[in-house]
Structure 1
Amino acid sequence: MATRIKAVKCPQCGSEKHEQLDEKRYRCLNCGTEFFLDDDDINVNVNHHYDFQSSNFLNNDLSTGIKLAIGAVVVPLIVVFVIAIFLTTSSSGSSSDSSSSTTVRDLYTLVSPMNNKGKPCVFYLVERNFNTNYSSTGSKYVNGYYMGFRDAITGKVLKEQLFMSEDDADKQSISPSSDTELSYLKQAKHWYLVLAGRFVYEVNPATLTITDVSQSFFKGKQAMNTGIASIKFIYPADGEGFKVENNIAESYYYFPATNRLYTEEAFNYARQLSPSQLNGEVRDTLYWQLISKSPNNNTDRKGLLRLWNIHAKYHLGDPQDFVFYDWFYGTFSSDRGGRFVSATPMTGWFVGFNGQFIYQDAHYALIYFNPSLASDARSMFRLYDKTGKILWTQVLDRFSEVVGGERVGNVIWIIGKRNRRNTYDDMHAYGFDISTGKWEKGAELSTEYTIE
């Protein structure tokens, strides 16, 4: 008869959950026991030899999931770790390379073109910071104030020296970037540099030397035995000299061309001496003066310029009173010492703003001005001969500052600066050929660069 079982239970665990392998064979889903039914006696026969574990399906799936999860976490970590090692290696390599280089930042306090034995050079004073990749105690560079000379064409440093370290300046409460002036005194035939209102240096571009003359200036002058408390150039109209104060607050005027030291009273008296009272220490002088005035009474903007030739008697190397032009009345008049001779207009009035002299000698006058007040008004350079004739005019992109100039051979050199809003200022040397007006762009005075 046919086999009919309503409920087949596992003979091993008693579970009714099973799967039918064929017509008479079954497998328990709980413990994996295989068994079959015999039709004749309805016996349950158990096969104890099996290779099945019901929980392994779940365990295998779970193991696979865990492995995948672990892999998803571990593999990226391994990748990140490898990349980190690579970057660290690269960084250490690059830092070892960069440790041999130093970024230098220069803040120019003063620049001026000069003549180095027929070659143009630039004298400069900078506040310098060395940005190194190692501690300042181990640095071979010293932050501070440096001065020196550069080739105006190539930019090569010709000579340089440290004036004062940043630490020493702080200790002495000295700021070389303030109360610092440079001037060429024609009677003495020397460049002089006043630093921080306390030191005087003689600058010699021919020998590329910068010499401290603060003490030798006053050698043998008892009034200055207490030392210099302050020193500065006097106004050019008062002569070629210095106003100096000693350490007991006494003021004097010193003129290096004659090596004379004047008290305040003696200085004012000497300025008013007539040529006949100067004991032959006088000569005729002719020089140019650029006069400016407002175009009308409704503005104080001085937008009109005019060149004049001044003839006067010059007291050699001593006090002067060369304020001949009356700005209120717009006329020339004789000074108190009677040294004014005449003033001759060399040009008519012409439109020009921010006018200044760049260079003048007995034959030429080079001036600089802007043609309008517009923010983008360009910079104009104009050369005149001794008769007031315009030889040439050159127009360049607007400069924010022009310094100079110095004639070297047939070229007049200046320093032109342009302010940059989002980066470092642009500062270069420029040379103008006197004969043709053709200009050349010389060396850049960089404010940031790298050294090894």
Structure 2
Amino acid sequence: MAKQIKVIKCPNCGSIEKTEIKPEHYRCENCNTEYFLDSDDINVNVKYHNHNQNSTQTNYLDEANIKSIIIIVACIVVAIVFGSLISIFFKSKSYSNNSYSNPPVTHTTKSTKSDTTLPAETKNSVKDVNYHYCSLTLVENKPFIISIAQRKYSQSSQSKYFFIVHDLLAYKIVQESEIADLKLDNFGNVKWDSYDFTQDKTYLTAGKRAAFLLDKKKLTLTDVTSSLLENYPQYNTGIASINITTAQSTRGARVFHILTDDGQKIYYFPIQDKAYVDNNDFYMALKNFDQVNDSSEHTAFSFAQRYDKDFKLIKFIYVSPDGKSYYTFTSADVGDERTDGSGKFTDEASAYNIDNTFYRNSKYRLVSHQNLTPNRLYFSPEIVYFDDTSLIIKTKASASPDSHYNYQRLDTNTGKVLWTLSEDKIRIKEVTHLNDNFIAKQNCDKYAIISSDGTISKEITLTQEK
């Protein structure tokens, strides 16, 4: 077969510099590689020497490693893509199965109507409550808290006023209604005033523009602004302002003072439903005006006090037409003259004077009085609560200005201390007697049940909303 003439190059380095070592066998002058020619074709066959063998194998191994790495990376990429596709497939299927039970939350603007359910953190929940009135009342021997509350909300700058009734022992709100159409001041608030005209009926005024009747037995609040003077058409021309005050010659009794829309000034007694024009005729009419006629005897307690004199705990029984006590007592020393002109005090226990505002009126009588604890010292004492069978006082433990206060229940006949509670454990503002226990009001939304032995059996914080 004829041979074609071609340039013979070293298959290892490509050099054409060579030495023929025997027919058709050559050695490269550049890298010493030996190679020969195939007789069928001019194919170059390489014969490697030992000193180049390791280098050549290394080149082939590097190329193999690169290919392996590429294959491995490709497999990893394929696995990731395949796994992602499977995940998307199952997630889509899961959403399809649950789309009716758990719809996604959507948000809309104010101009778009939507049944959107907001997340809990964006709901317009109550963030603060300010109590303008609160009272604990017993209905069928069950304690209820009646309150006028101003609620401020997390998602609104405007507050609202509510009439709220809590069932204290059930820990829940049993009645709630918004008090609408109130006249707000420049700060968006309403000033409330109240007075218990009877044990069960309390009147309130809101911003001196509206009047409400609170019935503590029926647990109702009624707007009576337009009906107060309905039996007096000559005055019932509309209310420009209304407030609860006292008037001269009324023995300190509370009364409504009303300015009508046509400028008339009226005194109105709600329990008696009596209205008088505020002039001289009004004071003349009051001379023979009796608001109530209570002739029963009442038991009360008071501390006789006077600067630099010891306190004395006085128990007394009295009669007054309205059932209220108008007696005050002042401490004295042995040898001091009695203010009623009956001589000097001869013993420490009875050394106190009596001030009776209505001593000339036979309807007001002091039936009896006594120093209940003649041998005891008191430090800054106060009467916290009393009824015919119970007495709770507040007094410092010692004369030290750093001394803490104690609450004590005393026997109403002997003055013996029945139990003591430190103010470190509880701070009491008001007390209500319930069976053998006492309900202590700490503030409008916090109460405590005190057992007959003086232990705090339960503490209750009112819920802010239903």
TM range (shorter): 0.5 to 0.7
SS of the residue 1:185 aligns to: coil
The residue number in structure 2 matching 1:201 is 212
Percent identity of the aligned residues?
13
Query: Which AA in structure 2 matches 1:160?
Result: E
Provide the residue aligned with 1:392 in structure 2.
418
Structure 2 CA distance for partners of 1:390 and 1:181, relative to 1, 3 Å: farther
TM-score, normalised to structure 1, is 0.59
| SS class of match (1:164) | coil
Say yes or no: does 1:288 pair with 2:300: yes
* Map 1:107-186 → 2, pairs under 5 A: 107-109=129-131, 110-131=133-154, 144-164=160-180, 170=184, 175-176=189-190, 178-181=191-194, 183=196, 185-186=198-199
Look up the equivalent residue of 1:441 and give its one-letter code: K
SS in 1 for 2:272: coil
Q: In the alignment, which residue of structure 2 is the partner of 1:382?
A: 409
Q: 1:197 to 1:403 in 2, by over 3 A?
A: farther
Higher relative contact order (CA 8 A, sep 6+): 1
Distance 1:337 1:359 in 2: 24
- Rg: which structure is higher? 2
Q: Residue type of the partner of 1:357?
A: V
Q: For residues 203 and 407 of structure 1, do their structure 2 counterparts lie closer, same or farther at Cα, with a shift above 3 Å needed?
A: farther
CA distance in 1, matches of 2:425, 2:384: 15
What residue number does 2:320 align with?
A: 314
Q: Which runs of 5+ in 2 are unaligned?
A: 1-8, 18-25, 37-41, 47-55, 92-97, 106-116, 333-338, 340-351
Is residue 358–residue 403 contact of structure 1 (8 Å, CA) maintained in 2?
A: no
- How big is the shift at 1:161? 1.5
CA contact (8 A) 2:385 2:393 kept: yes
Residues 394-427 of structure 1 deviation map (CA, whole Å, 9 limit, x = unaligned): 415547753433344454433224xxxxxxx971
How many residue pairs get aligned? The number is 378
Q: How far apart are the structure 2 equivalents of 1:116 and 1:27? A: 122
TM-score normalised by L of structure 2: 0.58
Task: Give the drift of 1:312.
Answer: 5.5
Q: Cα offset for 1:206?
A: 2.8
Per-residue Cα deviation, 1:297-355 (whole angstroms, up to 9, x for no partner): 9xxxxxx75433456563449xx993755799984334267246446443446424462
Q: Superposed, which structure 2 residues align to 1:249-398 within 5 Å?
A: 252-262=266-276, 263=278, 283=295, 286-291=298-303, 293=305, 296=308, 305-310=311-316, 314-316=320-322, 322=326, 324=328, 331-335=353-357, 338-339=360-361, 341-342=365-366, 344-348=370-374, 350-353=377-380, 355-360=382-387, 362-371=388-397, 377=404, 379-385=406-412, 387=413, 389-390=415-416, 392-398=418-424
Instruction: Give the structure 2 partner of residue 36 of structure 1.
Output: 34
Q: Write out per-residue CA displacement over residues 250-294 of structure 1, whole angstroms, 9 at most, x where no aligned residue.
A: 6554333322345375776788x6xx9969957465452433757
- Helix, strand or coil at the partner of 2:180: strand
Note if contact 2:447-2:460 (Cα within 8 Å) is conserved in structure 1: yes
User: Do 2:148 and 2:161's aligned partners in 1 also have CA atoms closer than 8 Å?
Assistant: yes
Structure 1: unaligned runs, 5 residues or longer: 1-7, 17-23, 39-43, 298-303, 418-424
Partner of 1:420: none
Residue 259 of structure 2 aligns with an amino acid whose one-letter code is N
Partner of 2:112: none
1:227 aligns with 2:239: yes
Q: Is the 8 A contact 1:368 1:382 kept in 2?
A: no
Distance 1:281 1:112, change over 3 A: closer
Task: State the Cα deviation string for residues 51-86 of structure 1 (Å, max 9, x = none).
Answer: 9989x86x959x98xx89xx9xx99xx9xxx9xx9x
- The 2-side partners of 1:431 and 1:212 are apart by 36
**Aligned counterparts of 2:14 and 2:314: Cα–Cα separation in 1:** 127
**Within 1, Cα distance between the matches of 2:395 and 2:163?**
30
Are the aligned partners of 1:192 and 1:201 in contact in 2 as well (CA < 8 Å)? yes
Give the 5 Å matches for 1:392-411: 392-398=418-424, 402-411=428-437
Give, in whole Å, the separation in 1 of the partners of 2:222 and 2:29.
110
Q: Which amino acid aligns with 1:128?
A: R
Which residue matches 2:449?
A: 430
- Residues of 2 paired with 1:190 and 1:384: CA distance? 31
Q: Give the distance between the partners of 1:196 and 1:277, measured in 2 at CA.
A: 30
Cα 1:251–1:440, aligned 2, differ >3 Å: closer, same or farther? farther
Out of 122-131 and 335-344, give the one that drifted further. 335-344
Aligned to 1:41: none
User: What amino acid maps onto 1:203 in structure 2?
Assistant: L
**Corresponding residue SS for 2:320:** strand
- From 442, 445, 450, give the equivalent of 2:462: 445
Q: Relative to structure 1, is the Cα distance of residues 374 and 147 closer, same or farther in structure 2, using a 3 angstrom cutoff?
A: farther
CA–CA distance in structure 2, aligned partners of residues 191 and 252 of structure 1: 20
1:371–1:380 CA contact under 8 A, matched in 2: no
- Give the distance between the partners of 2:30 and 2:229, measured in 1 at CA: 120
CA distance in 1, matches of 2:291, 2:148: 41
Distance 1:279 1:25, change over 3 A: closer
After TM superposition, give the deviation of residue 37 of structure 1 in Å. 5.5
